């Protein structure tokens, strides 16, 4: 009897281990997003980078939809929600993020994005998608404390940006919180591939009216291979692979459980700086990283809302 119970629990845990492994991969990709964005904006304006990113990713998603069984277009009743998600993901989140990042630092952006799990959790409570849990709150606050310790350990200057940059990045964080919370039921209803593809294509369509003013093809194609490679990274890995993982995770776990992984990004950035840039390791990295990992684990173990089975479409 005990063995069968253990097998049942293991069967329940096994799929989630794959989800969390995928979220860890998304963290690695997103940690590189800060660096790729900064590199591309050394040669190109923020709106030009965003425009090319979404045009390329939308093209890839259209190809993906063409080879995915099932409907290619969202139901007419969902068009409003699709364009709302596209607005949150493109013109709001990414335009605000890149303009803010151009005026601030990657470390400071990571610190502000560490507020995401708390915002997702609170908004999920309001929408009935999350269950009130002291364990979840403790986990989120513990992880955020770890981010603060990590970034302050790298120096106060690395955690300080301009006021305008701060406000723009904070606006991007709010848009991402809304995108995550609103996107969870949408992804559960339509599947991760179509949900991501529809919202990313909608984002590109919403940005299309400004394309003649910001695309600057001659300037873009004369940019260095490093800058062009950074745009390709943003379009393929960040906008396609990472977004697909994100919506896939939202069909499997509560939004706050997925969002808490964003607190690992500053840790990954610090490790990348150690491996690639030769920055020294310090006690704050170990302490901050440990706090983040404890916070992630606490949030994962928080109770979830028993909901109706999601309607999955392949």
- C-alpha count within 13 angstroms, C-beta hemisphere, residue 116: 30
Measured CA to CA, the distance from residue 172 to residue 54 in angstroms comes to 16
* pLDDT digit string, tens, across residues 121-156: 888 777 777 777 777 778 778 877 877 776 666 554
Q: Which two tokens stand for residue 312?
A: 């999955």
Q: Which residues, 6+ apart, have CB-to-CB distance to 261 below 8 Å?
A: 20, 23, 24, 26, 27, 296
* pLDDT digit string, tens, across residues 266-311: 777 667 666 665 656 566 667 776 777 777 777 766 665 544 433 3
High-pLDDT (> 70) share of the chain, %? 77
Measured CA to CA, the distance from residue 73 to residue 66 in angstroms comes to 10
Residue 11 has a pLDDT of 38
Q: How many CB atoms lie within 10 A of CB 79?
A: 13
How much is the average pLDDT of 212-219?
A: 92
How much is the average pLDDT of 88-94?
A: 89
How much is the average pLDDT of 194-210?
A: 94
How much is the average pLDDT of 28-44?
A: 85
Measured CA to CA, the distance from residue 37 to residue 265 in angstroms comes to 15
């Amino acid at each position: 009897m005990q063995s069968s119970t253990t097998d049942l629990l293991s069967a329940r845990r096994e799929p989630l281990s794959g989800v969390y492994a995928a979220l860890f991969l998304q963290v690695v990709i997103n940690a590189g997003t800060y660096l790729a964005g900064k590199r591309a904006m050394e040669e190109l304006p923020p709106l030009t980078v965003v425009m090319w990113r979404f045009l390329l990713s939308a093209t890839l998603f259209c190809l993906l939809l063409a080879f995915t069984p099932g409907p290619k277009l969202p139901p007419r009743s969902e068009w409003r929600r699709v364009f709302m998600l596209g607005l949150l993901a493109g013109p709001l989140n990414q335009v605000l993020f890149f303009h803010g990042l151009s005026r601030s630092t990657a470390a400071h952006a990571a610190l502000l994005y560490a507020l995401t799990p708390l915002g997702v959790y609170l908004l999920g409570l309001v929408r009935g998608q999350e269950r009130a849990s002291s364990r979840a709150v403790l986990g989120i606050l513990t992880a955020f404390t770890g981010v603060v310790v990590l970034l302050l350990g790298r120096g106060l200057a690395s955690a300080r940006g301009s006021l305008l940059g701060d406000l723009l990045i904070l606006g991007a964080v709010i848009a991402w919180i809304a995108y995550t919370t609103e996107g969870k039921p949408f992804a559960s209803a339509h599947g991760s591939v179509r949900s991501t593809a529809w919202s990313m294509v909608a984002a590109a369509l919403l940005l299309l009216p400004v394309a003649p003013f910001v695309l600057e093809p001659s300037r873009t194609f004369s940019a260095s291979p490093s800058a062009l490679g950074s745009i390709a990274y943003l379009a393929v890995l960040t906008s396609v692979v990472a977004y697909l993982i994100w919506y896939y995770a939202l069909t499997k776990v509560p939004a706050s459980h997925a969002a808490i992984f964003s607190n690992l990004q500053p840790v990954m950035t610090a490790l990348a700086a150690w491996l690639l840039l030769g920055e020294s390791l310090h006690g704050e990295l170990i302490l901050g990283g440990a706090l983040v990992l404890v916070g992630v684990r606490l949030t994962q173990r928080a109770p979830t809302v028993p909901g109706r089975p999601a309607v999955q479409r392949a």
